[in-house]
Amino acid sequence: MTEVFKGSFTQQEPIPEAGIEAAMAVLRHGRLHRYNTAPDEISETALLEQEFAATVGAKYCLAVASGGYAMATALRAVGVKTGDAVLSNAFTLAPVPGAIAAVGARPVFVGVTEALTIDLDDLEEKAGAARVLLLSHMRGHICDMDRLMAICEAAGVTVIEDCAHTMGAAWNGVPSGRQGTVGCYSCQTYKHVNSGEGGFLVTDDAEIAARSVMLSGSYMLYERHLAAPPKEAFDAIRYETPNISGRMDNLRAAILRPQVADLATQYARWNERYRCLEDGLRGTPGLTVIERPEPETIVGSSIQFLLLDWGAADVRQVLARCAARGVELKWFGGAEPAGFTSRYDSWRYAETPAMPKTDRVLAGIVDMRVPLTFSLEDCALIARIIRAEVSAVFQGQSTAAE
């Protein structure tokens, strides 16, 4: 009998009861705006910032409306101006080049390797083309951060880390977002904590933190933050930094605080599911498992594999056959954007010179979400389905070639 998976790839776990109770308390008192507090009250948002800063070991943290807003704010705070070039990954999601475009800057794309990380040889060649790198740890894959930081330091390039997919991950024990000058995180529903939308910006740089707080729309209420620099850091910049409002509110902060407190438990659960899927896919004919390097601590909230050098029609056949058995896969090799998947040459507001090595990798990337609503038995079943359908199409290729 043919096995079929009947679960949902978009259904998240419920918000923890502690988050629901905290949210109800905010709804009952009505003080949703982060600066609307009763006498001697500390806002949920200020407490969340303090707690997240401690979680990743940062001096300063700002909670904002989205991960994309965090990236655009970071770019502005480090001094990116209209027309500036900003280096970034060719393999990423649209909000990353979108953040660069939002500040009027120009993305300069850097290639991707078969490990799905930024091509450090290509970065080394292009490092002189810009003074900022917006580095995307795309789909949770972290490059050799020691080499990347050495390249950027030698070239005078400031690194902003997009950690939308790596909250809780690390390289050589250093939390993702803490090697660069600024780390940006997402709290959107499909990320590691869920407030629908939301994000964090962290840094140890007092001036960047102060500029970010002012940019977020603090007016002159920055002293109500617990994870911001002291008042003196704002004195030189408070009148020259525009208000581009993008604050987080107390309702979302209340929902997030229990989730941040429970991150370690959730990471372990994701990684159990990831390893189950990885083990089930390993050794499938025609399929390349992405090997994770020893210095990398992962959070396996999604999984990718390569159908390297397959024809587009055969990849589409795998996707269709898996979909018919209830397994939803995404492909980054399509000529047109589909859902959240798109390519560097899809973003036509950016100059896109040909990148044949990157095109070859993108043409083979298949992606799948791993929600915590999946059981380990679900993951084993999904792996069996993918293995069977990839093998069937691959065998068809081999037969046709004979």
pLDDT at 300: 98
**Annotation: CATH topology of 17-261:** Aspartate Aminotransferase; domain 2 (3.40.640)
DSSP per-residue string spanning 96-152: HHHHHHHTT-EEEEE-B-TTSSB-HHHHHHHGGG-SEEEEE-GGG----HHHHHHHH
CB 134 within 8 A of CB 77: no
Rg (CA), the chain: 22
pLDDT at 162: 98
CB 304 within 8 A of CB 365: yes
Q: Chunk the chain into consecutive blocks of 10 residues (it has 402) and report each block's average pLDDT, rounded to whole numbers.
A: 92 97 98 97 98 98 98 98 98 96 97 98 97 98 98 98 98 98 97 98 98 97 96 95 97 98 98 98 98 98 98 97 98 87 90 92 97 98 98 84 58
Q: Going by C-beta distance under 8 Å and a sequence separation of 6 or more, which residues neighbour residue 313?
A: none
Secondary structure class of 338 (helix, strand, coil)? strand
Write the pLDDT tens digit of every residue in 378-388: 999 999 999 99
Q: Where are the alpha helices (DSSP H) in 282-375?
A: 312-324, 356-362
Q: Where are the alpha helices (DSSP H) in 162-237?
A: 206-215, 232-235
Write the pLDDT tens digit of every residue in 192-242: 999 999 999 999 999 999 999 999 999 999 999 999 999 999 998 999 999
pLDDT at 401: 61
- Domains 17-261 and 263-401 agree in fold: no
pTM (whole model) above 0.95:
yes
pLDDT at 81: 97
* Domain 263-401 class in CATH: alpha beta
pLDDT at 402: 56
Instruction: State the greatest distance between any 2 C-alpha atoms of the chain, in Å, as a whole number.
Output: 80
Break the chain into its structural domains and give their ranges.
17-261, 263-401
Q: Going by C-beta distance under 8 Å and a sequence separation of 6 or more, which residues neighbour residue 38?
A: 29, 31
pLDDT at 338: 85
CB 186 within 8 A of CB 309: no
